[in-house]
Amino acid sequence: MNAFAAALDTLFADPNLGETALWQAGGIGPGVPVRVIRRRPDAVVEFGASRALMATVLLDLRRTEAAAIDEGDLVVIGTETFKIIGTPSSDPMGLVLTCEAVKV
């Protein structure tokens, strides 16, 4: 493990940042326990002179826990369920996957 991976493990383990969740590949099954960091609870989208508030969230997951996460998968955090709505993107070091999701 390198220093960057160790630092990420510390961030994901921090109860002020990380949360325990269940990742359900394809939205089925009991799920795999993972740690996630939620970011950007809502997005403001502009349509000409109008603005709309979209209830989206970005979820960061460690690649070591959810390397195969994909569009259509579910992430359950407590009583909230989120559906991954796009292809996850990776950080430059390939340690963290960022997934755009919506609450279902």
Q: What is the pLDDT of residue 95?
A: 94
Q: What is the pLDDT of residues 31-49, one digit of tens each?
A: 999 999 998 767 778 888 8
The CA distance from 92 to 11, in Å, is 17
Interval 4-29 mean pLDDT: 94
Residue 18, classed as helix, strand or coil, is strand
Helices H / strands E in the chain, number of each: 2, 9
The CA distance from 36 to 86, in Å, is 17
Does pLDDT of 94 surpass 70?
A: yes
Between residues 73 and 4, which one has the greater pLDDT? 73
Which ranges of 1-104 would DSSP assign to H, the alpha helix?
A: 3-13, 63-66
Q: What is the pLDDT of residue 41?
A: 67
Are the CB atoms for 71 and 87 separated by under 8 Å?
Answer: yes
Q: What is the pLDDT of residues 56-87, one digit of tens each?
A: 799 999 999 998 999 999 999 999 999 999 89
Q: What is the pLDDT of residue 37?
A: 97
Instruction: Give pTM, 2 decimals.
Output: 0.85
Q: What is the pLDDT of residue 45?
A: 80
The CA distance from 2 to 50, in Å, is 47
The CA distance from 13 to 84, in Å, is 22
Interval 4-19 mean pLDDT: 94
Instruction: Tell me how far the alpha carbon of residue 99 is from its chain's centroid.
Output: 5
Record the tokens describing residue 3, joined without a space. 């220093």
